[in-house]
Amino acid sequence: MFIKIGERINSSRPPIARALRSKDEAFIRKEARLQKEAGAAMLDINCAVDSKDEARDMEWLAGIVQKETGLPLSIDSPNPKAIEAGLRKHKGKALVNSVTVEKGRADSILPFVKKYNAQVIILTMDEKGMPATAGDRASLAERALKLAEGHHISKQDIYIDPLIRPISSEQKQAFEVIESVKLIKAKYGLKVICGLSNVSFGLPERSTLNSVFLAMMLGAGLDAAILDPTDKKIKAVLRASDALLAGDDFCKEYLKSYRSGELK
Amino acid sequence: MFIKIGERINSSRPPIARALRSKDEAFIRKEARLQKEAGAAMLDINCAVDSKDEARDMEWLAGIVQKETGLPLSIDSPNPKAIEAGLRKHKGKALVNSVTVEKGRADSILPFVKKYNAQVIILTMDEKGMPATAGDRASLAERALKLAEGHHISKQDIYIDPLIRPISSEQKQAFEVIESVKLIKAKYGLKVICGLSNVSFGLPERSTLNSVFLAMMLGAGLDAAILDPTDKKIKAVLRASDALLAGDDFCKEYLKSYRSGELK
C-alpha cells in the first residue's frame, strides 16, 4: 500500500514560518487536519528555515501535530539535535528524514533511528555529491543498506530517496530517477520514497508535472512520497491509482470522488 | 521516443460505422487530421464491426487516411484477408494489429508481416486464453519472440501487448500488466504497446483513469500506446511526460501548451 506523507508543515513556506515565529498553534493544527482529511497517512514536519532554536521548534511541532491528528510524523531536518528532539517527543513509530550515505552524517543520526525504533529515509548521496545515473543511485542504495545494517536497523525500516532534481535545470535526471526506482526495487528489494515537488521547480503549472511524475513513479514501483495531499491533481492521480493498483476495493472511493465532482 | 497511435478510426464507434456505410470520405479525413494535429505519429484503422466486406473497407480506409495525413497506419483486424488488403494498399512501414501466440493465428498473418516488411503487435494470449499474472505475460512474450523469429521477423519490428482488462471486472489485472511491462523489457528487451482505454471500461470519468494509467505505464517503460490523442487529460499527460522524459528539449512544447491554457 502506497504511503502518502503530507509536505505542507515546512518553514520554507512563509505562512508556516510566520506561525512558527508567533507559535500560532491553531494555524499549525489546521494545516495538519487539512492534510489528514485529504488522506495523508503521515505528516512531514520541517522547521529548518527561519528557526532560532530548531530543536525546540521541532519538539513543539511534533507535540501539537500528533495531538491534533494522531498520525505518525516524518521528522525532517539536517540537524541531528532537532531530529533527536522530535523523536523524543514523538509517540509511535516515526520516520527520520533524512541521512545520506556520507559516513559522518549517517553515524550522527542512525543511532537515534535505532534507539527510538524509527524508520529512516536514506538519500542516494555521498561525499562525491549527487548521483548522475540510475546505476549510480542503485549502487548508493546498496551502500545505504549496508550502512543501516551496520547500525542494526532492519531493511523494512529503510526508505531510499533517489533524489529528484528540477527538470528545468537537468532535464535527463527525471528519467534516471524513474529507472533507479525499478533497479533499486528489483536488485535490493528496498522501499523507495521521493519528495515530489522538486521535479517541477522553475516551471509553470507545477501541479501538472508533479502529478504526472507521481503516476510515472507509481508505475515504476514507488512506495511512498512526500507531497501536498490537498492538491487537486495529485488527489485525482492517487484516487485513480488506488483503483488501478487494487488498493480501492470495487473502486468505491473512486466512485465516491466521481460523484462529488473531484475528478473533473 | 514514445509512439502515440490514434485510436479514433474504429467502426465500434457509431459515427465511424456510419461514415463507413455511406463512404463519407470527408468525415474520415477529418478524424484522421484531428489526430495528426494532436500529435499522433501513427493512426489505427479498424472496420471489423459492422462491415459487409472488411477487406474492401480496410483498403478504402488505408487509402484515404494515408492520402490525408501521410502517416503510417496500424492495420487493425482479426481477419487475415482484411490485414492483407490493408497492407497491399499501405505506403511505407505499416503496423499489423494483431496476432496472438496461438500457432494457427500467427501462421496465418506473420507471413504477410514479413512479405510487406511491416511491424507487428503480438498479444500475450495463447490457446489457453488470457494470462493472469505478470510472469505469465512475460513467458508468452518470450514465445511471441520465438514465433516471430521463426518467420524471420526482426526483434525491433515486434511490439508485445500485455492485454489490459477492465479494472471494473478484474481489479488486480492493471497491476499485473504494469509489472509485466517491467519484466518483458528487463528480461527480453522487447518493445511494449497497449490499447489504453480498455482499462476503464464500465467506470465513469474514464479519461482520468486512462490518463493516470498511461502515466503509470510510461513509468514502467511503455514504448507505444493506442489512445485518443485529442483527449484533454491524455494530452496533458503526454505533454508533461515528454518534458519529464527529456523528449521535449528545454520543455519548449510544455511551455507552449501552458501559455495556450491546455494544461489547466
DSSP string, B141-187: HHHHHHHHHHTT--GGGEEEE-----TTT-TTHHHHHHHHHHHHHHH
Using the predicted structure, report yes or no on whether residue B1 has a pLDDT greater than 90: no
Query: Would you say the C-alpha torsion A186, A190, A193, A198 has a positive or negative sign?
Result: negative
Q: Is the Cβ pair A203, B251 closer than 8 Å?
A: yes
Contact indicator for B85, B75 with CB cutoff of 8 Å: no
Q: Is the model more confident about A112 or about B247?
A: A112
Chain A residues touching residue B213 (CB < 8 angstroms):
240, 244
Chain B residues touching residue A255 (CB < 8 angstroms):
203-204
Which one-letter DSSP state was computed for residue A2?
P
Going by pLDDT thresholds of 50, 70 and 90, the confidence category of residue B263 is confident
Minimal-distance CA residue of chain A relative to B218: A216
What is the C-alpha separation between A86 and A156, in angstroms, rounded? Answer: 21
Domains and CATH numbers, chain A: 1-70 (no CATH), 93-227 (3.20.20.20), 231-264 (no CATH)
- The beta-carbon neighbor of B171 closest among A199, A208, A246 is A246
DSSP string, B62-123: HHHHHHHH---EEEE-S-HHHHHHHHHH--S--EEEEE-S-HHHHHHHHHHHHHTT-EEEEE
Q: Is the Cβ pair B203, A251 closer than 8 Å?
A: yes
Q: Note whether B133 contacts A: Cβ–Cβ < 8 A.
A: no
Burial of A208 (0-12, 13-18, 19+ CB in 10 A): buried
Contact indicator for B109, B85 with CB cutoff of 8 Å: no
Query: Could you count the other beta carbons within 10 Å of the beta carbon of residue B18?
Result: 13
- The beta-carbon neighbor of B258 closest among A168, A204, A212 is A204
- Average pLDDT over every residue of B109-121: 97
Residues 210-249 of B with CB under 8 A from A: 212-213, 215-221, 236-237, 239-241, 243-246, 249
Going by pLDDT thresholds of 50, 70 and 90, the confidence category of residue B65 is very high
Contact indicator for A1, A247 with CB cutoff of 8 Å: yes
Question: What are the C-alpha distances in Å from B165 to residues A217, B88, B139, B168?
Answer: 22, 32, 18, 9
pLDDT of residue A97: 98
Q: Is the Cβ pair A212, B240 closer than 8 Å?
A: yes
Residues 172-211 of A with CB under 8 A from B: 172, 174-175, 178, 182, 186, 199, 203-205, 208-209
CA A76 centroid distance within chain: 9
Distance (Å) from the alpha carbon of A172 to chain B's nearest alpha carbon: 6
Using the predicted structure, report yes or no on whether residue B264 has a pLDDT greater than 90: no
Size of interface A-B (CB pairs under 8 A): 122
Could you tell me which of A150, A92, A144 has the C-alpha nearest to residue A120? A144
What is the C-alpha separation between B181 and A182, in angstroms, rounded? Answer: 11
pLDDT of residue A103: 81
Cα angle vertex B133, ends B132, B138, to 5°?
115
To the question of pTM greater than 0.80 for the whole model, the response is yes
Cell digits of residue B261: 491554457
What is the C-alpha separation between A239 and B130, in angstroms, rounded? Answer: 27
Burial of A129 (0-12, 13-18, 19+ CB in 10 A): exposed
Using the predicted structure, report yes or no on whether residue B50 has a pLDDT greater than 90: no
Cα angle vertex A244, ends A137, B196, to 5°?
95
Could you tell me which of B59, B41, B158, B156 has the C-alpha nearest to residue B101? B158
pLDDT of residue A190: 98
**Interface residue of A172, A173, A207, A209 to substitute, partner B, most B CBs within 10 Å:** A209
Using the predicted structure, report yes or no on whether residue B246 has a pLDDT greater than 90: no
Using the predicted structure, report yes or no on whether residue B103 has a pLDDT greater than 90: no
pLDDT of residue B51: 85
pLDDT of residue A247: 86
pLDDT of residue B105: 86
CA B78 centroid distance within chain: 14
Distance (Å) from the alpha carbon of B47 to chain A's nearest alpha carbon: 30
Using the predicted structure, report yes or no on whether residue B129 has a pLDDT greater than 90: no
Sequence-separated (6 or more) residues with CB below 8 Å from residue B234: B196, B207, B210, B211, B214, B227, B228
What is the C-alpha separation between B178 and B219, in angstroms, rounded? Answer: 9
Chain A residues touching residue B172 (CB < 8 angstroms):
246
Using the predicted structure, report yes or no on whether residue B205 has a pLDDT greater than 90: yes
Could you tell me which of A186, A132, A188 has the C-alpha nearest to residue A162? A132
What is the C-alpha separation between B246 and B250, in angstroms, rounded? Answer: 8
pLDDT of residue A146: 96
Could you tell me which of B109, B70, B111, B77 has the C-alpha nearest to residue B93? B70
pLDDT of residue A254: 95
pLDDT in single tens digits along all 264 residues of chain A: 899 999 999 999 999 999 999 999 999 999 999 999 999 999 999 999 988 899 999 999 999 999 999 999 999 999 999 999 999 999 999 999 999 999 888 899 999 999 999 999 999 999 998 999 999 999 999 999 999 999 999 999 999 999 999 999 999 999 999 999 999 999 999 999 999 999 999 999 999 999 999 999 999 999 999 999 999 999 999 999 999 998 899 999 999 999 998 888
Burial call B143-154: b when 16+ CB within 10 Å, e when fewer? ebbebbeebebe
